[in-house]
Amino acid sequence: MAKEFETSKPIYLQIADHIFQKIIREELKPGDKLPSVREMAVQMGVNPNTIQRTYSEMERIGVVETRRGQGTFIVENAEIITELKQTIQLEVISSFVKKMKDLGFSKEEMIASLKSYLERGEK
Amino acid sequence: MTVQLNGVTKKYGNEFALKNVSFTFTKGKIYGLLGPNGGGKSTTLKLITGLVYPTNGTVTVSDEKVTRKISDKVAYLTELDMFYDSFTIKQMVDFYHSQFPDFSLEKAHQLLQDMQLEGNKKIRKLSKGNRGRLKLVLTIARNAPVILLDEPFSGLDALVRDSIVKSLLTYINFEEQTVIIATHEIDEIEPLLDEVIAVYQGHYIDHQNVESLREEQGLSVLQWFKMTIQNWESEKY
């Protein structure tokens, strides 16, 4: 299969996450055309109905738009892309913080350990 | 095209293969009939293609009662191998073309190319994987409203499975065709399916939409399947 999926999350959302990641890394830019539903289905090895749901969901959030007869495009709206970046960043941070809290670390310890980890990584 | 089972029971001698099953398969979806061997999956497909007749109840394809003639609407990939060994791939394709008016030579050639099958090769000389690929080519080159696949992945390696999944996704017309896949290999096929049915001991014990399972219950198809079978067993005693 083209891609492995986690068991606990709907596949259509995992594919949306995958596309969001590409947008954030700027592999996909505002105005870029996404593959057709069928092409994406073949690429991912999933049912086209699933991809249709992925695209509808991304359109609902406002990250992509469907142009009649032309396909699905990343919106040319810098605000929405920035918002998407912030939302996903926040998701990652909050899950990190929650896990650290569950382990009993204080805020100061989190910041200190994160700082030292990043400094070590940069060397 | 809707496929309907109405109170279908099938007995082989004294053995029940299906017990009072009612179900409607609707157009534009890929269904998975999942379950261990001997549960009633293959019997379901044979009933839909008119190879066996119900002991009780009715089977219809778009309101037409199924007889052997339904094969003009139903493309069927058997779990068995039914090729003439002395034919070449091309001769086999031409033979199918002569038998089924909806067989698209264009689609067949495209599929052969995608699967890297050479037309002049004798069927006798094909590897198991290539025989499996050829079976799929011949089945989905038909523009039949109903496509039935009985264990299409059985005994094939990951590479062949991948090429089969890709071809299915590329060539199935999702607006027009209904696809029913019977398999006991659940993991491989999950992302391909819209709906899953657990078939066990002659019963359709549960039916679910794949994405709803994940979204509402946080279960993969395999997890759901194991739970369903367990519940069924524990209720029996």
Provide the shortest C-alpha distance from residue B156 to chain A (in Å): 14
Chain B residues near residue A37 by CB distance under 8 angstroms: none
Report the pLDDT value the prediction gives residue A102, as an integer from 0 to 100.
Answer: 95
Is pLDDT of A2 > 80?
no
Is pLDDT of A1 > 50?
no
Is pLDDT of A9 > 80?
yes
B192 closest CB neighbour out of A7, A8, A47:
A47
Provide the shortest C-alpha distance from residue B154 to chain A (in Å): 16
Chain B residues near residue A50 by CB distance under 8 angstroms: 191, 211
Name every residue whose Cβ is closer than 8 Å to that of residue B127 and which is 6 or more positions away in sequence. Answer: none
Provide the shortest C-alpha distance from residue B27 to chain A (in Å): 12
Chain A residues with a Cβ under 8 Å from any Cβ in chain B = 1-3, 5, 7-12, 38, 41-42, 44-50, 53
Task: Please classify residue B188 by burial: count the beta carbons closer than 10 Å to its beta carbon, then call 0-12 exposed, 13-18 middle and 19+ buried.
Answer: middle
Residue B202 maps to a domain = yes
Residue B232 maps to a domain = yes
Residue B101 maps to a domain = no
Report the pLDDT value the prediction gives residue A122, as an integer from 0 to 100.
Answer: 59
Is A99 strand, coil or helix? helix
Provide the shortest C-alpha distance from residue B215 to chain A (in Å): 5
Question: Hey, is the C-beta of B209 within 8 angstroms of any chain A C-beta?
Answer: no
- Select from A38, A39, A19, A37 the least CA-distant residue to A29: A19
How does pLDDT run across A85-96, given as a tens digit for each residue?
999 999 999 999
Domain spans of chain A, in order of start: 11-76, 79-122
Report the pLDDT value the prediction gives residue A123, as an integer from 0 to 100.
Answer: 54
Cβ(B32)–Cβ(B187) under 8 Å? no
In 3-state terms chain B splits into helix, strand, coil percentages (rounded to 5) of 40, 30, 30
How do beta strands B30-34 and B195-200 pair?
A: parallel
Residue B165 maps to a domain = yes
How does pLDDT run across A31-87, given as a tens digit for each residue?
999 999 999 999 999 999 999 999 999 999 999 999 988 999 999 988 888 999 999
Cβ(B167)–Cβ(B140) under 8 Å? yes
Q: What's the topology of domain A11-76?
A: Arc Repressor Mutant, subunit A (1.10.10)
User: What are the tokens at A111?
Assistant: 């910041």
Provide the shortest C-alpha distance from residue A37 to chain B (in Å): 11
d(Cα B34, Cα B41) in Å, to the nearest integer?
7
Report the pLDDT value the prediction gives residue B153, as an integer from 0 to 100.
Answer: 86
CA A42 to chain centre: 20
d(Cα A10, Cα B168) in Å, to the nearest integer?
22
**Edge-to-edge strand order for the sheet containing B15-25?**
B15-25, B3-12, B56-61, B64-65
Question: Hey, is the C-beta of B211 within 8 angstroms of any chain A C-beta?
Answer: yes
Residue to test with chain B: of A7, A40, A43, A44, most B Cβ within 10 A: A7
CATH number at residue B39: 3.40.50.300
Amino acid at B123: I
Confidence of residue A3 (pLDDT cuts 50, 70, 90): low
Report the pLDDT value the prediction gives residue B108, as an integer from 0 to 100.
Answer: 95
B211 closest CB neighbour out of A7, A8, A12:
A12
Long-range contacts of A80-87 (CB under 8 A, 24+ apart): A81/A23, A81/A30, A84/A20, A84/A23, A84/A24, A85/A24
Report the pLDDT value the prediction gives residue B164, as an integer from 0 to 100.
Answer: 86
Residue B189 maps to a domain = yes
Question: Could you give the angle at the alpha carbon of B79 between the alpha carbons of B157 and B172, nearest 5°?
Answer: 75
Q: Do A45 and B169 count as a contact with CB atoms less than 8 A apart?
A: yes
- The torsion angles phi and psi of A109, rounded to 5 degrees, stand at -65, -40
Residue B124 maps to a domain = no
A7 closest CB neighbour out of B29, B170, B220:
B220
In which domain, by residue range, is B167 found? 3-80+145-236
Q: Do A42 and B219 count as a contact with CB atoms less than 8 A apart?
A: no
Q: In chain B, which stretches have pLDDT less than 70?
A: none
Residue B134 maps to a domain = no
How does pLDDT run across B171-228, given as a tens digit for each residue?
998 888 999 999 988 887 888 999 999 999 999 999 999 989 988 888 989 999 999 9
Chain B residues near residue A11 by CB distance under 8 angstroms: 191, 210-211, 214
- Domains held by chain B: number: 1
d(Cα A37, Cα A51) in Å, to the nearest integer?
6
Is B55 strand, coil or helix? coil
